[in-house]
């Protein structure tokens, strides 16, 4: 494959990147805010809910409405003074990263959109109600929401993409000037 063709494959139009990024982020933000609205409206704070037909799963999975003023796993409670500016920096960093990085894999932009949507979803809560609404409780695991899940999925995707790219770059033999016949 010629070097010019490889460069063309690695350069996607910025508009395509931003379309993927903002489409995914918008879907996550909308889904996150809608589910949090439903929880706030129908499940009183610090109570759990599960349909009667699924009560046998209550110790393992349920909706449990809590307010989290900290980070994941309830760490750093009452940290909005740090988390709000930090999240704004992260959002700016993601947008800058997407605008400068040359990458041909659309999954990279999907992962960035998932992270952006999750970050903004929780930022909206911090700015509007002073805490993040968490409600998905699985076993004794931490209680989370759609935004948290989106962030975790994006990190897993980025790690997987990095591993795949790293393996692919190691399996390709280097092309030196003496091997090129163009």
2 falls in which pLDDT band (50, 70, 90)?
very low
Percent above pLDDT 70 for the chain: 79
Q: Strand, helix or coil at 76? A: coil
| The pLDDT of residue 11 is above 60 | no
172 DSSP 8-state letter: S
Instruction: Give tens-digit pLDDT for 121-144.
Output: 999 999 999 999 999 999 877 889
| pLDDT for the residue 179 | 56
Residues 6+ apart with CB under 8 A from 66: 45, 46, 133, 134, 135, 143
* CA distances to 3, 88, 177 from 182, in Å: 10, 48, 10
Separation of alpha carbons 83 and 98, rounded Å = 22
Q: Which of 26, 106, 125, 134 is catalytic?
A: 134
Half-sphere exposure of 133 (CA within 13 A, CB side): 23
Domain residue spans of the chain: 13-46+55-170
Sequence-ordered strand ranges (E) for the chain: 48-49, 61-68, 132-138, 143-144
Instruction: Give tens-digit pLDDT for 141-182.
Output: 788 999 999 999 999 999 998 898 878 777 666 665 655 555
148 in catalytic set: yes
| pLDDT for the residue 125 | 95
Average pLDDT (98-123) is 86
Residues 6+ apart with CB under 8 A from 80: 69, 126, 130, 131
What pTM was computed for the model? 0.78
């Amino acid at each position: 494959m010629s070097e010019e063709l490889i460069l063309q494959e690695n350069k996607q139009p910025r508009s395509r990147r931003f379309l993927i990024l903002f489409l995914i982020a918008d879907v996550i933000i909308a889904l996150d805010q809608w589910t949090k609205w439903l929880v706030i409206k129908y499940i009183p704070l610090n109570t759990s809910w599960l349909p009667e037909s699924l009560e046998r799963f209550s110790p393992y999975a349920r909706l449990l409405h809590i307010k989290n003023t900290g980070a994941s796993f309830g760490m750093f409670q009452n940290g909005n003074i740090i988390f709000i500016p930090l999240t704004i920096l992260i959002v700016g960093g993601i947008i800058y990263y997407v605008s400068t990085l040359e990458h041909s894999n659309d999954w990279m932009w999907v992962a960035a959109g998932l992270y952006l949507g999750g970050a903004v979803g929780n930022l909206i809560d911090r700015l509007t109600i002073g805490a993040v609404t968490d409600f998905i409780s699985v076993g004794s695991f931490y209680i989370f929401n759609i935004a948290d899940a989106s962030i975790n999925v994006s990190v897993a995707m980025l790690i997987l993409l990095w591993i795949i790219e790293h393996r692919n770059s190691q399996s390709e033999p280097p092309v030196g000037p003496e091997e090129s016949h163009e």
